[in-house]
Amino acid sequence: MDDMKGEYDLYWETKRFLESEELESMWGIEQAISGSYASSSSSVDVVAPSSAAKNIMVERDRRRKLNERLYALRSAVPNITKLDKASTMMDAINYIQELQEQERRMQEEISKLESEKTSIRDVVPIIERDDLLVPQRKKRTTQSSSSLALGSSGSSSLEVTQLRVSKVGERASIVEITCNKRRGSMVKLCEVFHSLNLKIITANITCVPGSISHILLVESEGMENAQMREKVAAAVAEVDAPRSLMSNISLQ
């Protein structure tokens, strides 16, 4: 469709140049007009000698402004097919719609990236807000949407502050577990997942002062999210209290 001739450039531009030349100056103001027109006005002669001339000038100015805008529009659009007036506007329309569509795509890509980053962003801020993990909660059936508070008594145990399982695709799951950091917590966490005998595809442990988080991509052979979570929780309890004291966990 777009023939994109290219020899239009010189044509239009030179024409445009000459026209704007003759338009800008060459007379003072309203001299030539009143000489050629006001004398032959047939309707009203005396009431407005410069009325027609003024109108001409003002109309001229209007056209100039309009063309100015057209050039500005043309210069704002990168892909110009022809230097035509209508084509310029058509190109502008297409370009705008193209930009809008691209904006939409980028927006959804951004939100996609953001949501992919959310799982990390949910974990990291915990580092800053120690108040969140200060309240040593005793209740063990809080069971909000997707966080599970387990962690038995005392001193050097694993205190899990977050445990979330989410399926990715049919055969894999993301397991995110965060706990307070004490000496040996990292080793214990590793042991937990070692003891689970899961097929771990990828794993990532991030450890900062006060907190340690473990994110794994595992093969979840038909297991549901809740099931997997219980299994991990059980393993945590097992490692935590080797004396098989798991009375306080509602294991299915």
Partner DNA sequence: TCTCGCACGTGGGTCT
Partner DNA sequence: AGACCCACGTGCGAGA
Identify what 19 binds: a copy of itself, DNA, none; CB under 5 to 8 Å per kind. DNA
| Residue in 176, 120, 121 with CA at minimum distance from that of residue 148 | 176
| Residue in 2, 9, 17 with CA at minimum distance from that of residue 91 | 2
Q: How far is it, in rounded angstroms, from Cα 48 to Cα 216?
A: 87
Identify what 11 binds: DNA, a copy of itself, none; CB under 5 to 8 Å per kind. DNA
* From 4, 45, 62, 75, residue interacting with DNA (rule: CB under 7 A): 62
58 binds a copy of itself (CB under 8 A): no
> Beta strands of 60-114 (E only): which ranges?
none
Please identify, among the stretches 42-50, 101-109, 182-190, 203-211, the one whose residues bind DNA according to the rule CB under 7 A. 42-50
* From 83, 203, 241, 246, residue interacting with a copy of itself (rule: CB under 8 A): 203
Q: What is the DSSP letter of 220?
A: -
Q: How far is it, in rounded angstroms, from Cα 135 to Cα 4?
A: 71
How far from the centroid of its chain's Cα atoms is residue 90's Cα?
A: 29
187 binds a copy of itself (CB under 8 A): yes
Report the interhelical angle of 85-123 vs 51-76 (nearest 10°): 50
Site residues (CB under 8 A) for a copy of itself? 62, 65-66, 69-70, 72-73, 76-77, 85-86, 89-90, 92-93, 95-97, 99-100, 102-103, 106-107, 109-110, 113-114, 116-117, 120, 123-124, 126-127, 172, 183-184, 186-187, 190-191, 193-194, 200-209, 217
